[in-house]
Structure 1
Amino acid sequence: MPTEEGILAFHRRCEEFYPADAVDASIDEQRKWYDALCAEFDAPSPVGLTREDALVGGHIPIRHCRPQTVSTRTRIYYIHGGGFVVGSLNSHDAICAELADFAQAELVSVDYRLAPEHVWPAAFDDCYAVLQALLSDGRPVVVAGDSGGGNLTAGIILKARAEGLAGIVGQVLIYPGLGGNLVSGSYVDMAEAPGLTTADVSYYRDILKAPAENPFAAPLAETDLSGLPPSYITGAFFDPLRDDARIYAARLAAAGVNVTFREEPQMIHAWLRARHMSEGAREGFRRLAEAVAVLVGTR
């Protein structure tokens, strides 16, 4: 268990809204609890930031966040986490707003289809369609995502490379789930970690029904990571997904990709939400925001 009081207080507060056994509840109940949790950790919007909702392809909801000062043509494309089961444009809106404001860049987030109503590749296809739309006007894009969104980020970037889609100038993976082996490494060492257990990860995989051998669904299955964009990867020590981040970062570096890896020693899964109550999360978010700013060219 971590010892930092701020992250422990964050975890206790989370369990008041989203119980440890949430995956045993109905999908509707899980989403209701998650929405309440996200609202609890909402934060004031940066001064001057505006939002505009739109549709890609007539059916995929997106949200444009534009800070008061925009200093680059490069956009951030953010894909939210939530185990592919929960989450929305609103669930990560405050996080997206703060990233956009810090980086002085427009940010676009996506409301992809969720499981179990829509199993793989529905979410993947939605996220890739938005990426194609964003790149169609010639403006560069940095793709970022946390947890399940980190999985989707890495997957669509692999597909973009396979299809020769140009214009992606960075990827940011935040405690990503990349298809690691559930019976080894951190999946064993952190099987009962606060905030996310290995049993939870198994549940989300079962409900998504993604092919484990397909690198677009499980990026760790990809054997050739050369030619991928500059990357920033951050993991949490007390997280069963920890080794997915470690291993992917090491493989990117071995393939010659410019990659920065940072592991938060006191953090648990979903620590982004603790950025205003935990010193470790605050520092981790600052480093993340700085990395995004470097990738979009404003730092």
Structure 2
Amino acid sequence: MTDYTKLIDAETWAFIERTNSYYPPDTIDYTVPQQRAIYDRMCREFFAGYPKGVTAETTVIAAPTHDIPIRIYRNATPNPAAMVLYVHGGGFILGGLDSHDDVCAELCACTGYEVVSVDYRLAPEHLHPAAFDDVLGAFEWAARTYDCPVLLCGDSAGGNLCAALSHATRGRAKKPIGQVLIYAGLFGDRSKGPGDRLRDSYVTHAEAPMLTVRDIEFYKHIRTGGVDRAGDITLSPLADTDFANLPPTVLITAECDPLSSDGEAYRDRVVAAGGRAWWFEEPGLVHGYLRARHTVGRARVSFTRIVEAVSVLARGDWTW
């Protein structure tokens, strides 16, 4: 059993305990509407406000069958070299424009880039591939609307959707200039035996604070309605057999997170296919640590790394 008293420092434990006070570990056993209410309240409690000079506009993208809500963040001193399409986490059933509102505002403030946050449809009301279709639609809108390159950035479920989008668009004339994937669930084949690196964190950190393997399986099941979609790369990007021609990728994972090995495995496959990918595992951090960026030193350092990754990839400077 992993000894988290040695891996996790006091600041991070304080963040975990504060999170659990709003979002108890057994929330996964509640109804989806109850989970959303609890999650939304937690996000409000952690809301850090907007940095000076950042404004936001909430609007919609008109799609053939429905509107896709988005929020556009602009900096008083804009950097027009690129724009960032941000895709939020929440296990495919939680979150929206408000859950990651301050994160997007700070990303805009730190980089100068315009940031567009996508409010994709959630399960179980809208099963896979609804969320993927919305993110793809938002990317196509951004590629038509902006005269600059589009960079993808997403955390957790949002990182999954960003990677799936990169795989789906790599043969197109307009495709992402890069992607920054933050503790993303990329869901490869975990059926191999001991020693397979893809399984390591799923075993070592199966009962990690903030996210367990049981939680992950619940989110995967509810996203598909229980239908077996093995091999569907729009659901599980690591299930792809071809990792060539993907955009330069930065993967940032938390050490104490079952999903950590997904980042390493994805990096290795992109590099093996001749692409550019960098993987950073943040020591002693847990899933969802973006909300700790103002109170936990390790999370603050990681958020600086995320900002740097966005800036580096967006300007096409892929050396680290």
Q: Which residue of 1 aligns with 2:106?
A: 98
Q: Which runs of 5 or more structure 1 residues have no equivalent in the other structure?
A: none
1:241 aligns to 2:279 (yes or no): no
C-alpha contact (below 8 Å) 2:183/2:253 kept by paired residues: yes
How many positions carry a matched residue from both structures? 298
C-alpha contact (below 8 Å) 1:151/1:178 kept by paired residues: yes
Q: 2-side partners of 1:248 and 1:286: how far apart?
A: 22
C-alpha contact (below 8 Å) 2:124/2:223 kept by paired residues: yes
Q: 2-side partners of 1:258 and 1:102: how far apart?
A: 24
Match of 1:197 among 180, 188, 212: 212
Q: Which residue of 2 aligns with 1:3?
A: 8
Q: 1-side partners of 2:134 and 2:23: how far apart?
A: 27
User: Secondary structure at 1:65's aligned position in 2?
Assistant: strand
Q: Which residue of 2 aligns with 1:112?
A: 120
1:186 aligns to 2:201 (yes or no): yes
Q: 1-side partners of 2:77 and 2:208: how far apart?
A: 40
Match of 1:133 among 141, 163, 166: 141
> How many Å apart are 1:3 and its aligned residue?
2.6
Q: 1-side partners of 2:247 and 2:185: how far apart?
A: 19
Change (3 A) 1:6 1:298: farther
> How many Å apart are 1:181 and its aligned residue?
4.1
User: Secondary structure at 1:21's aligned position in 2?
Assistant: helix
Q: Which runs of 5 or more structure 2 residues have no equivalent in the other structure?
A: 192-198
User: Secondary structure at 1:47's aligned position in 2?
Assistant: coil
Q: 1-side partners of 2:108 and 2:316: how far apart?
A: 11
C-alpha contact (below 8 Å) 2:254/2:283 kept by paired residues: yes
Q: 1-side partners of 2:103 and 2:316: how far apart?
A: 19
Q: 2-side partners of 1:285 and 1:295: how far apart?
A: 15
Q: 2-side partners of 1:3 and 1:100: how far apart?
A: 30
> How many Å apart are 1:298 and its aligned residue?
9.5
Q: 1-side partners of 2:103 and 2:301: how far apart?
A: 14
> How many Å apart are 1:185 and its aligned residue?
2.0
Q: 1-side partners of 2:152 and 2:100: how far apart?
A: 15
C-alpha contact (below 8 Å) 2:58/2:69 kept by paired residues: yes
> How many Å apart are 1:254 and its aligned residue?
1.4
Amino acid at match of 1:207: I
1:144 aligns to 2:144 (yes or no): no
Q: 1-side partners of 2:35 and 2:80: how far apart?
A: 38
Higher alpha-carbon deviation: 10-19 or 172-181: 172-181
1:207 aligns to 2:222 (yes or no): yes
TM-score (norm 1): 0.96
Change (3 A) 1:173 1:11: same
Q: Which residue of 1 aligns with 2:195?
A: none
Q: 2-side partners of 1:83 and 1:95: how far apart?
A: 17
Q: Which residue of 1 aligns with 2:194?
A: none
Match of 2:33 among 28, 31, 37: 28
Change (3 A) 1:261 1:108: same
Q: Which residue of 1 aligns with 2:58?
A: 53
C-alpha contact (below 8 Å) 2:92/2:219 kept by paired residues: yes
Q: 2-side partners of 1:165 and 1:239: how far apart?
A: 36
- The list of structure 1 runs, each at least 4 consecutive aligned residues, that deviate by more than 6 angstroms after superposition, is none
C-alpha contact (below 8 Å) 2:255/2:286 kept by paired residues: yes
Q: 2-side partners of 1:186 and 1:180: how far apart?
A: 13
Change (3 A) 1:165 1:11: farther
Match of 1:257 among 275, 278, 288: 275
Amino acid at match of 2:115: L
Match of 1:13 among 3, 14, 18: 18
User: Secondary structure at 2:25's aligned position in 1?
Assistant: coil
Change (3 A) 1:196 1:181: farther
Q: Which residue of 2 aligns with 1:83?
A: 91
> How many Å apart are 1:218 and its aligned residue?
0.4
TM-score (norm 2): 0.90
User: Secondary structure at 1:282's aligned position in 2?
Assistant: helix
Q: 2-side partners of 1:68 and 1:77: how far apart?
A: 19
User: Secondary structure at 1:273's aligned position in 2?
Assistant: helix
